[in-house]
Amino acid sequence: MTDRELPLVGVLAVQGDVREHLRALEAGGARAVGVRRPAEVAAVDALVIPGGESTTIDKLTRAFELREPILDRLRGGMPAYGSCAGMILLSDRVEDAIAGQQSFGGIDMTVRRNAFGRQVDSFEEDLAVEGVPGGPVRAVFIRAPWVERVGEQVQVLARHEGRIVAVRQGALLATAFHPEITGDTRVHRLFVDVVAHHLRRRGEAPVGAPVSAQFSTKGT
């Protein structure tokens, strides 16, 4: 496989742990690029929404006029993966949101912001994640949400003490934890496989354009 045949996965680069996702995606078999302009949203095969602060990512996404382009792509079936704040942004319903906070939605679920954070700010746990071979994943939770309810289309991939913390609905994936910061790239590999499968099903080749210099990730 040449480099150009690898899926091109964007990481929404307005706030959050963008670099960590870029690295994990590359290790997981994709080309990866920061996305902060509408034209860049149009140019990628898939999008990762990083961990960070969902309220800030929401505000900046609107300020940078990225919200509508992202919603259009999601409606068109673009695969996406969200970790932590990214999970909140991919959720159809958000509990304990701040006034005016919006998500993109896409996954038929209700998440509660900072749900674990009310008990303890951060913790780690080895979790079995469905679809990830090779044993448990080290899951790092930082002021993490949990999933309170899921619709019928949603597959639960992992739980922590009974709480749903990883889900998939079609080509949309979300985790309450941060695999991007552990050096274990299996969750990203799972997402890249979802993206590749999605492109094959649609009969689309990955975006052939070389990664241009404008997709800089500086300053994230």
Residues of the shown chain interacting with ligand GLN in the complex, contacts defined by CB under 6 A: 51-54, 84-85, 88, 113-114, 142-143
Nearer to ligand GLN, 54 or 169 (CB): 54
Nearer to ligand GLN, 51 or 179 (CB): 51
The owner of tokens 């602060």 is 53
User: 106, 74 in Cβ contact below 8 A?
Assistant: yes
The residue from 21, 178, 188, 198 that is catalytic is: 178
Burial of 212 (0-12, 13-18, 19+ CB in 10 A): exposed
Q: Provide the pairing of β-strand 31-35 with 8-12.
A: parallel
Nearer to ligand GLN, 6 or 129 (CB): 129
CB of 181 vs ligand GLN, minimal distance in Å: 10
Active site residue 188: no
Active site residue 84: yes
The alpha carbon of residue 49 and the mean position of all alpha carbons in its chain are separated, in whole angstroms, by 4
DSSP secondary structure letter of residue 70: H
Active site residue 148: no
Nearer to ligand GLN, 53 or 108 (CB): 53
| CA distances from residue 54 to 14, 160, 191 in whole angstroms, order as listed | 11, 21, 21
Written as one string, the DSSP assignment of 179-217 is GGGTS--HHHHHHHHHHHHHHHHHTPPPP-SPPPTT---
Mind telling me the catalytic residues? 84, 178, 180
